[in-house]
Amino acid sequence: MKKITGSSVLPARREDIELTTADGLTLVGELALPADRAPVATMICLHPLPTHGGMMDSQVFRKAAHRLPALADIAVLRFNTRGTESVRGRSEGEFDQAVGERFDVAAAIEYAEFAELPNLWIVGWSFGTDLALMYGLEPDVAGAILLSPPLRFSAPEHLAAWAQDGRPLTALVPEFDDYLRPAEARERFAAVPQAEVVAVDGAKHLWVGDTERVLDEIVARLNPAVALPLPREWDGPMERADSSAYADRTTAVFKDKPR
């Protein structure tokens, strides 16, 4: 048995993908599927603010893609929103303050639908949570999970739309978040009767050191049949990712910046 660490990459079928938006842009991304079976659910990742280092390889989503296809039979679809760059490449266009990004979210959902991926869930992180609230209520989306929601671009009418729709909505809120802490989050999300606010003791906005807890919470909703907590060891082939390309885009770039 080998310990699963931050750089561990478990077996999966991984392919580079391109998304085409309704306004004519090409976005780069990756789809990771279970290595030898069909997925049970699909996680569409919406990353933090690209103007402050957010991208498809932001650490929670990178680790989800490296682990969840093998550990939880979950497909992980990651992509760079317009104007965002990572090792995978740069998506066309420019950051548009959560306006043009509506087409990016729609393109990701459309890709998942066309690929016949099952049980689609939107998982947003920081800026990505605003995109999820604003644009995630598409017919084939089962629900949404919000990691460190700042409620910065989204508005009360977006919460009202989720309330009226009734689909599940979970917010994971760090105890020491920079923008929205659990007590205020409970007040703000009270507008959505079905919303579940999960306070995570000791955690901060970037989830450094708390990724395992986040992945467990995601799996609990996307594939409840999986025993939790997820294994911390792996008896099988395992690769190691080179994370040096992200070292300056995890904590230093985000420090004291809105996301």
Q: Each residue of 39-67: pLDDT tens digit?
A: 999 999 999 999 999 999 999 999 999 99
* Residue 259 within any structural domain of the chain: no
3-state secondary structure of 122: strand
Which domain covers residue 190, as residue numbers?
2-249
**Partners of 205 in beta bridges:** none
* Residue 44 within any structural domain of the chain: yes
Determine the distance from the C-alpha atom of residue 88 to the mean position of all C-alpha atoms in its chain, rounded to a whole number. Answer: 17
* Residue 32 within any structural domain of the chain: yes
Total structural domains within the chain: 1
Query: For residue 257, what pLDDT is reported?
Result: 42
* Residue 80 within any structural domain of the chain: yes
Mean pLDDT of residues grouped by 10 in the chain (259 residues)? 95 98 98 98 98 96 98 98 97 98 98 98 98 98 98 97 98 97 98 98 96 98 98 95 64 41
As a whole number of angstroms, the distance between CA 65 and CA 167 comes to 25
Give φ, ψ of 4 to 5 degrees: -85, 120
Query: For residue 247, what pLDDT is reported?
Result: 57
As a whole number of angstroms, the distance between CA 167 and CA 15 comes to 30
Q: At what angle do helices 101-114 and 127-135 cross, to 10 degrees?
A: 70
Query: For residue 253, what pLDDT is reported?
Result: 41
* Residue 239 within any structural domain of the chain: yes
* Residue 183 within any structural domain of the chain: yes
> What CATH number is given to the structural domain containing 206?
3.40.50.1820
b/e burial code for range 198-212 (CB count within 10 A of at least 16 → b): bbbeebbbbbeebbe
Query: For residue 125, what pLDDT is reported?
Result: 98
As a whole number of angstroms, the distance between CA 100 and CA 65 comes to 26
* Residue 256 within any structural domain of the chain: no
* Residue 208 within any structural domain of the chain: yes
Give this prediction's pTM. 0.94
Question: Whose structure tokens read 């929205």?
Answer: 180
